[in-house]
Structure 1
Amino acid sequence: MSDTSKPPYTQMPDSQPPKPGEVRKGRHRRWVVHSHEASRPSHTEAKSDINITPLIDVMLVLLIIFMVVTPLAQKGLDIGLPQADTKQQTPEQQSQSNQVVLGLEESAAGAIITVNKSPVSNLEELHTRLADIFQTKSDKTIFVKASGKVPYGKVVEAMDVARGAGVERIGIISEKMVQEAAGE
């Protein structure tokens, strides 16, 4: 240490630190602490950071609230829709409701092909029957309802014959759709 530097603390003149266990009467000691950091504030800048901790706290609370409320809010409104009266249909509406359904079911003898529930013996007869039906129809759509046991190749062959007979659009009727329609 040099002579110009101050020790971290100095005593007032004529003051000695007491020895352990010694009590001094009548004289008060003062110790002065010299610290450049404590006595002189450093150059302070304005704090420009945004404290996001409260924001995160609020967001977590909102997240928990939404997680609790969301399952409760998924309730629907039951409404009764009016049913259509099928007795008062015009002939045009009746012709539109007459859809052509190509059915394929598996039996011991092989695949049974039906057109609107009337059996067809082979693919050639299927072609002639579909050609007769779609010759006069403006809507050239057929619906295919195949049993799950029918091989895929047989279904594709029947769809190819239908395309050759003038069918432009083919729709598939699944067993689930039939069950839902029967339940209503």
Structure 2
Amino acid sequence: MAGHKQRQWVKPQTPPNSEINVTPLVDVVLVLIIFMVVTPLLEKDILVRVPDTEVEENQPPPDPNDQQLVVLLDKDGGYSINTEKISAADYVTRLTRMLAAKKPDEKVVFFMADDATNYGRLIAALDGAKAAGAKVLGMATELPSNAIIQGTQVDTGTPAPTPAP
């Protein structure tokens, strides 16, 4: 048995380490926390169309009745388009005819609602305008100082100009 070799076992100096290395785990968790905090702050974009601020001084102001459609809602739920009182049944058909005469990029309807108007009626008016073909809907918060509705001057809180003697 001279040619037979015996196997020798080498005993490791340290036992195998079966514990989790926590340092990379902590690094990954911190990076995830940073992304979770920062990501919602990056998604706060709101698309807003802002009108141009250029003013043309030599042109007379356009007649608002020719250019704009203003739907007024009174506290009883009645509709008025510009200065004309319209029944709720005729609202969409009348607005459809008015919008059909306009170019596609001029199909804009503004809404002015009384503070006591039912919110549901305002939403119904907005939906009716969309059904009539309006491309852009706008909310007016104040009437112009020279607004005339149903033949009477509207009090907007600004003093009326005094006639010259």
Larger helix proportion of the pair: 1
Larger RCO, structure (CA 8 Å, separation 6 or more): 2
What TM-score, normalized to structure 1? 0.43
Larger radius of gyration: 1
What TM-score, normalized to structure 2? 0.48
